[in-house]
Amino acid sequence: MLTGKQKRFLRAEAHHLTPIFQVGKGGVNDQMISQLRDVLEVRELIKVRILDNCEEDKDVVADALAKGTGAELVQLIGLTVVLYKESRNNKKIVLPKVDKK
């Protein structure tokens, strides 16, 4: 589970990214989830665009993407979903440490 500080950090990191996947009329499917898993392993942080013709609610789509890939939903802003999943082999992003109270 990401802290608020970590999410802010990831939102800043994701700001300059362009969405590399689109969810359209067909909604979320297994093939898309599989491709997203592969891309997340390489990049860790990605943006996914939900197209206007998508028939599912954007919150449902964002949730399905996060659950399906095992990633953290960093942000849903407008129709853009930001996902983060720590890579096993290609760790690039160093998250801010969690302050222990």
Please report whether residue 89 resides in a domain: no
The domain spanning residue 60 has which CATH number? Answer: 3.30.110.60
Question: Of 54 and 100, which is predicted with more confidence?
Answer: 54
pTM of the model: 0.91
Q: What is the separation of C-alpha 9 from the centre of its chain, rounded to a whole number of angstroms?
A: 14
Range of the domain at 67: 4-84
Encode pLDDT of 28-68 as tens digits: 999 999 999 999 999 999 999 999 999 999 999 999 999 99
Is residue 86 within 8 A of residue 44, CB to CB? The reply is yes
Q: Indicate whether 101 pLDDT > 70.
A: no
Please report whether residue 95 resides in a domain: no
Please report whether residue 97 resides in a domain: no
Please report whether residue 90 resides in a domain: no
Please report whether residue 75 resides in a domain: yes
Please list the residues that pair with 84 across neighbouring strands. 45, 72
Please report whether residue 57 resides in a domain: yes
Number of domains forming the structure of the chain: 1
Please report whether residue 94 resides in a domain: no
